[in-house]
Structure 1
Amino acid sequence: MSTLMPHKMIDNQPLYYVDQGHGPVVIFCHGLLASSAMWQGQIDKLSSQYRCIAIDFWGHGQTTTVPDNTQNLQDVAQQVLTLMDMLDIGSAAIIGHGSGGAIAAEVILQAPARIHGLVMLNSFVGFEPQVNCIKYQGLMAKIANEQTISAELAQTISGLFFSKEIQQLSQQDANLSTVVAQFNTQLTTYSSAQLAVLLNMANMAIFKRDTLEYVELLTLPTLIAVGLSGYLRTALESYLMHDSIDGSQLLHIEQAGHFANIEKPAIFNQHLIDFLSKVNFN
């Protein structure tokens, strides 16, 4: 049984988070259908030098509800800033995965002086391509109608999150095979009430506003990382953001999908450590 994490009341609802380590603050923002747990491999490496805050966003992990006034990712970004205030965090670096990268960008656009470094992993801050919206709407409708995620649907969803070579990689790495199995199981254990909240959050993420036109305002150090064997994000999107964000670094990770930080932790962790070592947290 998992240990209950600390939480703060944000807009009258509990937002759960991990708070581990000491030093300059690094905030981790997971993407859809993930949770703060996806960052444990990074937290283990960083917490000796950094204070790591990993959030369970609305409907994910231990955060099962959502405030009534949460309408879009700008609202979620403001809630991240409120959490920072409650934890007496003046400034930080922020790391976003998937839709968590879009949240991270919104945090910076709202409070640029408070964020000193940005890492986006398999994220895209432009409009979601229409073909993706249609595909995701179909999955969301199926979940909403059934009020559960069946084992079969969990297998389909899981296949989108890992590398196209995941079967081969899992045969070579028993730990990775366990992670895939755990993710499949996690998808099937959501209650109908939590799924309703998660679908609300998914709707905000999929139909987020286009902030690509604003990324030129992101003048802070930025690392853009993408798994080259994924289904959900493309290398082309990473090039587009890299070209738009002045001075950004680009990391392409071979044989990795949406969970590139889990599939190829050594590569991702080393680049992350190198990047953070050059961020001026003062």
Structure 2
Amino acid sequence: MPFAVIDGQPLHYIDQGTGPVVLLGSSYLWDRHMWAPQIEALSQQYRVIVPELWGHGESGPLPTHTHSLDDLARQALALLDQLDIAQINLVGLSVGGMWGARLAFLAPERINSLVLMDTHLGAEPEATRQYYFSLFKMIEDAGAIPEPLLDVIAPIFFRPGIDRESALYQDFRSSLQGFPRQRLLDSIVPLGRLIFSREDVLKQLPSLDRDTTLVMCGEQDKPRPPHESEEMAELIGCTLTLIPDAGHISARENPDFVNEALLTFLANHA
């Protein structure tokens, strides 16, 4: 995998296909494989770039002075500058949408179109923020994701009825189990705290271009329920597409539906 050195650390990324650029922003705790079905489908017509979050996949540790989602947006912009890419179509899921929208606020001239998937631009509700912080403390104390926590964390990402013996579920569970101690302490936990203590930027959403923005959400998304997406789509004035038979990682749970929706949207805007 190619990489760019940004803020002193190697940021690894996929770069596949040719044509207008589509940048895919991943969910927390997922590497580039989260987007495998989309990379395959979109790279037939587009140049698809998938940066891996700090501490995830092959990327290096969270750079020292990374304190906010605005820093993640700035770092993504630095990657585009290094690759000499002037404009992109940005598809961000979960935290990928959180920093993706901030990139659009920061540099609107760089964004041809924006898809916000299973994400929210408001602050994390206090109760869930405290809950996630308690999980981070347990991980920090253990220097690992303890076995009982694996079956607390993994289900958050999927629709309630997912087959827990399926390869999709088991592979993700195994990836959580495989995080090395130092990576958890240096990157995963601090990045999680950064994500879940984010500022509310909902008031900036009306500044996005309603005609080139799409909001999508899994119908059964638990951490980012559809009512949050409805609120965002209303503030932007853009279309909302609900993804059937999908929870938070809708790109993997219903890839055919997601691919068709993205290809249709990009055909009109990229």
TM-score normalised per structure 2: 0.96
- Code of the residue aligned with 1:209 in structure 2: it is E
Say if 2:155 is the partner of 1:159.
yes
Q: Which runs of 5+ in 2 are unaligned?
A: none
Residues 227-238 of structure 1 mapped to structure 2, 5 A cutoff: 227-238=218-229
Q: Deviations over 1:219-268 (max 9, x none)?
A: 1511111112122111110110010002x111112221011111111111
- Code of the residue aligned with 1:217 in structure 2: it is S
Corresponding residue of 1:252: 242
Q: Which runs of 4+ in 1 moved over 2 A?
A: none
Residues 172-251 of structure 1 mapped to structure 2, 5 A cutoff: 177-196=166-185, 197-219=187-209, 221-246=212-237, 248-251=238-241
- Code of the residue aligned with 1:192 in structure 2: it is R
Please, which of 74, 79, 98 is the counterpart of residue 83 of structure 1? 79
Deviation, 1:33, is 0.8
Corresponding residue of 1:174: none
The alignment covers a number of residue pairs equal to 268
- Code of the residue aligned with 2:224 in structure 1: it is R
CA–CA distance in structure 2, aligned partners of residues 121 and 95 of structure 1: 7
- Code of the residue aligned with 1:48 in structure 2: it is Q
Deviation, 1:108, is 0.6
- What RMSD in Å do the two structures reach over aligned CA positions? 1.2
CA–CA distance in structure 2, aligned partners of residues 276 and 21 of structure 1: 15
- Code of the residue aligned with 2:253 in structure 1: it is E
- Asked whether the equivalents of residues 28 and 36 of structure 1 are also in contact (C-alpha less than 8 Å), the reply is no
CA–CA distance in structure 2, aligned partners of residues 254 and 231 of structure 1: 14
> What SS is found at the alignment partner of 2:200?
coil
- Asked whether the equivalents of residues 9 and 60 of structure 2 are also in contact (C-alpha less than 8 Å), the reply is no
CA–CA distance in structure 2, aligned partners of residues 151 and 50 of structure 1: 40
Please, which of 129, 133, 149 is the counterpart of residue 129 of structure 2? 133
Deviation, 1:100, is 1.1
CA–CA distance in structure 1, aligned partners of residues 69 and 53 of structure 2: 11
Corresponding residue of 2:41: 45
CA–CA distance in structure 1, aligned partners of residues 58 and 109 of structure 2: 30
- Code of the residue aligned with 1:14 in structure 2: it is P
- Code of the residue aligned with 1:50 in structure 2: it is Y
CA–CA distance in structure 1, aligned partners of residues 73 and 224 of structure 2: 22
- Code of the residue aligned with 2:223 in structure 1: it is L
Residues 117-128 of structure 1 mapped to structure 2, 5 A cutoff: 117-128=113-124
CA–CA distance in structure 1, aligned partners of residues 95 and 4 of structure 2: 22
- Code of the residue aligned with 2:44 in structure 1: it is S
Q: Percent identity?
A: 34
CA–CA distance in structure 2, aligned partners of residues 129 and 278 of structure 1: 35
Corresponding residue of 1:19: 15
CA–CA distance in structure 2, aligned partners of residues 251 and 164 of structure 1: 20
Deviation, 1:64, is 3.4
CA–CA distance in structure 1, aligned partners of residues 71 and 220 of structure 2: 32
- Asked whether the equivalents of residues 25 and 92 of structure 1 are also in contact (C-alpha less than 8 Å), the reply is yes
- Asked whether the equivalents of residues 165 and 229 of structure 1 are also in contact (C-alpha less than 8 Å), the reply is no
TM-score normalised per structure 1: 0.92
Say if 2:127 is the partner of 1:116.
no
Residues 57-76 of structure 1 mapped to structure 2, 5 A cutoff: 57-76=53-72
- Asked whether the equivalents of residues 164 and 255 of structure 1 are also in contact (C-alpha less than 8 Å), the reply is no
- Asked whether the equivalents of residues 116 and 215 of structure 2 are also in contact (C-alpha less than 8 Å), the reply is yes
Q: Deviations over 1:87-112 (max 9, x none)?
A: 11100010111111110011111100
CA–CA distance in structure 1, aligned partners of residues 95 and 62 of structure 2: 17
Please, which of 253, 264, 269 is the counterpart of residue 274 of structure 1? 264
Corresponding residue of 1:106: 102
Deviation, 1:73, is 0.8
CA–CA distance in structure 1, aligned partners of residues 208 and 221 of structure 2: 26
